[in-house]
Each structure stands twice: as structure tokens, then as C-alpha cells.
A and B are shown apart, each in its own frame.
Chain A
Amino acid sequence: MIRMKDSIEQDQHITREFGKYRLAPPSPDLHDRVLRAARAALAGRDVGLHWTDRWLRACGAFREEILAFASVLLLILGVVTSLGADQSVLAESIERLKVMVTVSECLYRATSMDCTVLKPAAGDKESRYRVRWNAAGITRVDIDSTNGTEQTLWIFEGTVSVAGHEGGAVRSMAITTMPAEWQPPMEFLTPTLLAQHIKEQYGLMPAERQGGARPDEFLLVGQESQQAVEIAFDATTYLPTTLTKYLPDPPWTGKERDCLEEVRFQWNTPIPQELLIPGTSAVKRQVK
């Protein structure tokens, strides 16, 4: 038996075999038949199409364009939204900055300050301080503490002069060596100090609810050492009228916040000069 063993020769042979034949030509009417049927299907349009196909047809062959358009739209929306958010944040920041600058300027321009600080204590007791400052830079602080001690401080250029209400001698000391119990009103010692606190400490923002403010006031809220700070400003003078410090909002309870400190301000009202001289009498009367 003779067998062909050379596979290359076989491959050539097979190739030759393939070459001897060709695919049968299409039937003469195939072109017409196929295209007629296809055109009929095309003319039938949506008839018999599945609803998804009909929906896709409704979208047309512009699905890619629609998708591209939708993508671009989403992109623009995203950009606009983010820009809008940024703009509003920016606007808020600018507005807040403007308010802070105006408040500071007004505080720096103040000619006198008269504020009363009330600090509730246990029971119905409260500490009370009255701080009066004039443009000459002298501050008088009348202290009426819960333990019944009444004292008056005069502070001028870093020196504290103190006199008891019983008419004792006036003592002086450096403000840095001042006892701790006199510290609370120091925050409101001068309008400049107050302005610094407002600018740097409280982080004030416009309050979401302006319900607590009078019609001629606007309210800013902030925080200091875990305490909520709320300051009402006169909308005309941009000077604070009331400053209140609260314990942080009790979550979910809806209870009224505990007031830690309340400060009421009066601005630019003349302060009798004699009250600002250390050792002057009628101290207690001036506190109330």
C-alpha cells in the first residue's frame, strides 16, 4: 500500500483541491429576493417589534449622541452645582467678612461702652459685673459676686486699682497678677478686646433662625470652648446689643438651652467722668 507521508505535499495537494472548486454562485434572483424581503421588513417599521426595540427606535440611532448629551448635561450640572455651592459659600464668606469688618470698625470707633454681664449660678443667684469703658482707655468694673462681695476695679494701661465698697483704701496691681475671680469680665474690658474676640474666638456665622433677634437686629452665632455664643447686633450701628453664651444644644430633647452668661451692651452713651477715677464713691449704686 502506497501512502503519502509528506504532510507538506499533502497540504499543497489540499490547497490544490480547494483551488479546483469555488463556492456556488448565488441564485440569479437572490439579490432581489433578499432585498425585497428586507425592504418590506424596513417598511414595516415598528410593527411586530418588541417594546424595547420600539423604545430604542424612539431614541433613534442617536443613542450614543443621547448618552453623550446626557453625560455632558450631567457634567455641566455637576460643575454648575459645585460652582453654585462654591459661589454661595463664597458669597456667605464674603458677606460674613464684610459684617466682621464693619463690626470691628464700629467697635474701634466706639466712644464708650457700658455692659452688664450676668452669670447665673446655683439656685437663683447670679454674679453680676458692670463694665464701663470710655475713649480715654479707662475701664471701671463693678463686681457683685454671688458670695456677696462687692468690688470695683479700675483698669488703665495694664494696672488694676481695686477698692472695696466699704470704702477701704485703693490698691493697685498689675493686671497679670489679678485674682482669678476678677477674670470673667475681662473679655469685655474694652471694645478692642471684644472686637478681637468677635473676630478670632467666636467664629461667628449668620444664624439660621433669626427669630431671637429684634426687627432692628441681626443675629450671629458661634462657638467658644464648647459653648454656643449668640450675639445680636444692631442692624444700624453694627454694634452688639446682647451677647449670650449657652451650653451646647441638648440633642433631640428640644429643651431650652442653659444660659451661662448674658451680656447687655450700651454704646456711646456718656459715662460720668468721676466714676472712672479710682476710689470714687457711690460705687454700688452704679452696679445695679
Chain B
Amino acid sequence: MAGTAALGQGLSTGSGFRRRRRIFRPELFLRGMSAGYVGLLIVLPIVAVSVRALGGGLGRIWSDLARPEALFSIELTFLIALLMIAVNSVMGTLTAWVLVRHRFPLRSVVNALIDLPFAVPTVVTGLMLVTLYGPRSAVGSFLSERGIEIVYAKPGIVLALLFVTFPFVVRAVQPVLMEMEPEMEEAAATLGAGRLTIFARVVIPSITPAVLTGAAQAFSRAIGEFGSVIVVAGNIPMKTQVAPVYIYGEIESYNPRGALGISVVLLLGSLAILVILNLIQRWGRRQDVRG
């Protein structure tokens, strides 16, 4: 749909191109300014880090990454992020479904509060979880008597990531569900499809690109998350040290050299997710056209 709009605009502006030039005479100036800003603030820092990392040679990066603490932190980061998107994809889709299809008291209040995790500073998120599940709290001491540790352990990281990424899937799926015509589902029901078949054949295919988009955004946020994780899980090597915390530790101990390799790995991860997101969106648009 967005593709058609852009195309239409391209056609309509084509005829008025000469006039448009007069409206935005400083066209080239705007273009140069934007490219310059992005170049200075985004491209140059990334290039600088990459050049510095490669300056010591690939062997150097490899030996930095091969340290057990470094390997562990990367593994932990990606594993917990995967666990988080599995849970958030299901719960986020369900939340979107309930918000769109069901009426209940205070629905619009709940709908507004979904964005809350985006508004709460990450340090505050960490503090909240420590307050609720920490050793000084009622819940925390109840759980630790039964041998379940949340704060300064891996479950704390999972909770923090679930919190900060909660809105992504909900907000990606919600508009798609809202636009979905109930006629399709009703037609399927008239043709004798059971509810399970309807959900599997009609609902799931329509929302899959949106769920994947939300999940990819959540994943990208999760592998970079720092503030909430360092407060909730601390900085315990080989136990709770995720990649961003490892990088922070290396910088803190005046060893920026050791942070370079992992930083590049995280940057490559982010780039890969951006490319995947782009592919998902294209795939979703093609599905739109077919439907």
C-alpha cells in the first residue's frame, strides 16, 4: 500500500517537477545538510570503530572474541534475546488480539499504558525489578527460600528484556488486526471451517509479517539493552554478563582494545537485523498485493 502511494506521488510530482524546483529552491542545500548530519553523527563513528578494530588485524579481533568471558557474553545475549522474542511474540499477539477484538472496562487506558515501557528510563526499569524481586522484598525472599533467584541471575535479565521490549509486537500487530476484514473469517466459517482452521489459515498468515517485524525490532533492542540489565543482573562474568555489559566492563577497566571486537559483532548483528526487517517488510507488501 505504501509502495503504491510512493509510486503515485512519484508520477504526480514528475509533471510538476520544474515548478517543484522553484518551491524548494534550496533542494541541494537540504540534501547536503541531511547527508552531512547523518554522515558526521552515524556513519563516521561506525567507520572509526570498524577501522580501529581492524587496525590490529583479524587475528587480534579473533583472539579478543575467543576469550571465554567474551564468547559467553555473546552466547548469553543472543540466547536470552531469542527466549524473550518467543515469549513476547505469543503474548504480544494475544495482547493485540484482545485489544482489537474484545471490549472490556478501561480498554483505552490499557491501550495507552502499553507504551509505558518505552517511556520509563531503563535504569528505572532495573530499579523496579530489583525492588520487586530483590532479596529485600517479600516476593524475592519468598522465591529465594525456594531456591529461585531472579535478581543478579539470568531470570532477572529475561524479565528486564520482556519489559523493555513488550510494546514492539503489540504495536506491530494491532494495526494489521484492525484493518483485517471480519468477512474473510466469516466466509471461512460459512464454508465450514472450524475455529482452529480459521485461525491457522486466515488469521495467522495475515499477521505473520507484522509479528516478525515486531519480533525483529524487539530482538534488536534486546541485544543492545544495557541500563536495565546491569542494574538487575549486575556484572558477573560467566554468569550474568551480557555483551553490552562486557563492553562497558572493558571500557571501565581502561581496556578499550578488548571492547572493539564485541562492539563490531554487535554492530554487525544490528545491521543484519535491519536487512532482515527490510526483507520482511517487502515480503509483507507482496502478500498484501496478492491478497
> Do these two chains really belong together in a complex?
no
